[in-house]
A and B are shown apart, each in its own frame.
Chain A
Amino acid sequence: MKELTKIEEILLLAIWRLKEDAYGVKIRKYVSQIIDKDFTYGNLYSALSQLSKKKYVRKTIGETTPDRRGRRKIYYTVSPEGVKALKTAREMNEKMWEGVSDYAFD
């Protein structure tokens, strides 16, 4: 299994946290908030298509709203493989930061 890139990790986590509400607009806003920058749709969908190709996320076609002018949403959910990848990423992160005190870089 390949390691997740940072952006994939953030995205997967976002999808997992957003639960029932994980579609384009919401994911983008959530991620923008986390990274404190305006995350573009380009980066979002480029990464999402990679994730779904790796089978870390599943897609379901959802409803539409008047604002969307008839275009349906695509909802994303984290697949079991995705969850496993998230776990691995977390372990790696923890291992990486182990023993580094919170004040180390002050």
Chain B
Amino acid sequence: MTTDDVTRELARAFPDNPDHLRELHDRLAAAALQDGVLDVAYRTLDTTVGTLLLAATEQGLVRVAYASENHDTVLQALADRISPRVLHAPSRLDTVATELDEYFSGRRRSFDVPLDWRLSAGFRRTVLNHLAADIGYGHTATYAKVAQLAGNPKAIRAVGTACATNPLPVVVPCHRVVRTDGGIGGYLGGVEAKRTLLTLEAAA
């Protein structure tokens, strides 16, 4: 038997047990929350537009991500940009999850959870602020109109970029921004998701 055999067998003899590890993680998350050392808490939520990743700092909701963005990649980016103190800790996101559930079942028209805007800056952030404040449930606005609202009517492409890099989709409603020619336009969660959201809001 070679050294490789022994080490491979050793790794097998001390196996990963995902359930057990999850339990330990949950306990750690509770302790970290209590001690104020949990910088980013996250959970996932199954919705009609797929599984969403929700992440919150102590200031508020900081990230909503579609599955198409790859949740592992998003978590790594959060660790790099905010803090590696990232843990699965659903309790910090209870309110957000409830409000999203209500939204997707047509029982909620706006979100009133605190938002942490730190992943968005400059003109993009101005655009997103206007989306959140000025385009109500069930309404849409064109990219040109949003550029105007944000104070720079020529920056139509930049509005598109702001929407495409929205760190808080669904909650900050970039899905309500459509093309001037009546086309639905792109969406970071996929055009199908955008259509689903607009249909949902039109029906209510």
| B and A form one assembly | no
- Where the two chains meet, the residues of B that have a C-beta atom closer than 8 Å to any C-beta of A are none
